[in-house]
Amino acid sequence: MADADKLVKQTHALDRDCTTLSRHVLQQLQSFSAEAQDLSALMGRIALAAKLVSRRLSRAGLVEGVLGFTGDVNVQGESVKRMDVYANEVFISVFKQSGLVCRLASEEMDKPYYIPENCPIGRYTLLYDPIDGSSNIDSNLNIGSIFSIRQQEGTDENGEAKDLLQHGRKQLAAGYILYGPSTMLVYSIGNGVHSFTLDPSLGEFILSTENIQIPEHGSIYSVNEGNFWQWDESIRDYIRYVHRHEGYTARYGGALVGDFHRILFEGGVFLYPGTLKNPDGKLRLLYETAPLAFLVEQAGGRASTGTEEILDVVPEKLHTRTPVIIGSKEDVELVESFIQDRTREQTESLTAPS
Ligand code: AHM
Ligand code: MG
């Protein structure tokens, strides 16, 4: 190889190694406006929270009091794990003195946490799921954190956070952290989707893939088939279809972030439909499905409830749940077509002359 070629190659390697998350956010924003500075600082704080959670997880089996349940039940009626509490508090402490947010709302808290008056108060709200896939924690399997940033609109005097009850297109930024064999951060500020890998020796998130595009179609379907007899017949129709056609493969890890991450890169569809017991499914809109819907649309995919785009859903309350079908365009459309067929059949049988 000629010396000049070698130099170009080395320069590129160096350039790639040096694209840190903070540098990338500033490049994306291409502005020094107050909002750009804020978004950059917000992403920096999220990265710090991610590093703290990742560090604790990496030694979870060696340290007393990290794994297991606290004995409490959260607002969702789910048993709380110690890591849920730790991660929830990490986000609060990282943002409390930041001057960036006025409140934080999470899966683990009944009502939002308001920044106390003796601390600087910012203009944004952070919505987050501190630990997604909690059932995986004690088995040392992949888990995640999901985040969404919205501008505060209006006042919220009684603490009901009613101004947050708006559709997902109001999100300014969204993303997730995947705690897997390596820790990754994937984000979008409305200009493509980008992934970063934590280099523990540097303590920095380094750019891995820029402008991720989800394939139009993929072979993976990801759903908890244990709920088969709890679903609507239309979802069972779809599952029967993939069972009977070649080229589909099931992958389900029990943690939305991990399952979604695979589909974002490889294509396919993740579903958590409604069940007899929970007609709106399990996943929450504001800090689970809407942030991932924001990402998937930015990557060229789709997210639907089955009848409506996830990003158009206006929640009734902070912890509203929605059924979700998310992933490659063609695969989401295929699931929707089974839902439409059943709806049409039901309408026809109701309107048919007796
Ligand atoms: P969590 O945030 O309380 O952990 O719950 C959400 C998780 C998702 O990560 C995952 O997709 C789903 O619940 C798994 O649910 P199930 O065990 O019913 O398949
Ligand atoms: Mg969750």
For the chain (length 354 residues), average pLDDT per consecutive 10? 57 63 88 85 97 93 79 79 93 94 93 90 95 93 97 72 88 97 97 96 95 98 98 98 97 98 98 97 97 98 97 96 98 97 84 76
Query: Parallel, antiparallel, or unpaired: how do β-strands 324-327 and 268-272 relate?
Result: antiparallel
List the beta bridge partners of residue 144. 132, 178
What pLDDT is attached to residue 344? 87
What pLDDT is attached to residue 75? 77
Q: How many residues does the chain have?
A: 354
| Closest to 320 (Cα-Cα) out of 95, 161, 125 | 161
What pLDDT is attached to residue 4? 59
Task: Quote the pTM value.
Answer: 0.92
What pLDDT is attached to residue 45? 97
Please name the residues in contact with 182: beta carbons below 8 A apart, sequence gap of 6 or more.
Answer: 197, 198
| Closest to 270 (Cα-Cα) out of 243, 312, 238 | 238
Q: Which CATH number fits domain 220-348: 3.40.50.970, 1.20.120.450, 3.40.190.80, 3.10.20.340?
A: 3.40.190.80
| Ligand 1 contact via 224 beta carbon (within 6 Å) | yes
At 104 the three-state DSSP class reads strand
Ligand 1 pocket mutation pick from 272, 275, 285, 289 by most atoms within 8 angstroms of CB: 272
Q: Break the chain into its structural domains and give their ranges.
A: 2-209, 220-348
Phi and psi (nearest 5°) for 328? -65, 145
> Which tokens sit at 301?
């995919």
Given a contact cutoff of 8 angstroms between Cβ atoms, the answer to whether 273 and 336 are in contact is no
Q: Ligand 1, atom 15: nearest CA belongs to which residue?
A: 254
What pLDDT is attached to residue 78? 79
| Ligand 1 contact via 134 beta carbon (within 6 Å) | yes
Which ligand 1 atom lies nearest to the CA of residue 257?
9
What pLDDT is attached to residue 3? 62
Q: What gap in Å lies between CA 298 and CA 309, rounded to an integer?
A: 14
Ligand 1 pocket mutation pick from 283, 292, 326 by most atoms within 8 angstroms of CB: 283
Q: Note the ligand closest to the C-alpha atom of 81.
A: 1
| Ligand 1 contact via 204 beta carbon (within 6 Å) | no
What pLDDT is attached to residue 342? 86
Q: Ligand 1, atom 18: nearest CA belongs to which residue?
A: 224
> Which tokens sit at 175?
């993303």
Return the residue matching tokens 């099931």: 250
At 13 the three-state DSSP class reads helix
How many other CB atoms sit within 10 Å of the CB of residue 269? 27
Q: Which CATH number fits domain 2-209: 3.40.50.360, 3.20.20.240, 1.10.260.40, 3.30.540.10?
A: 3.30.540.10
Q: What gap in Å lies between CA 341 and CA 233, rounded to an integer?
A: 11
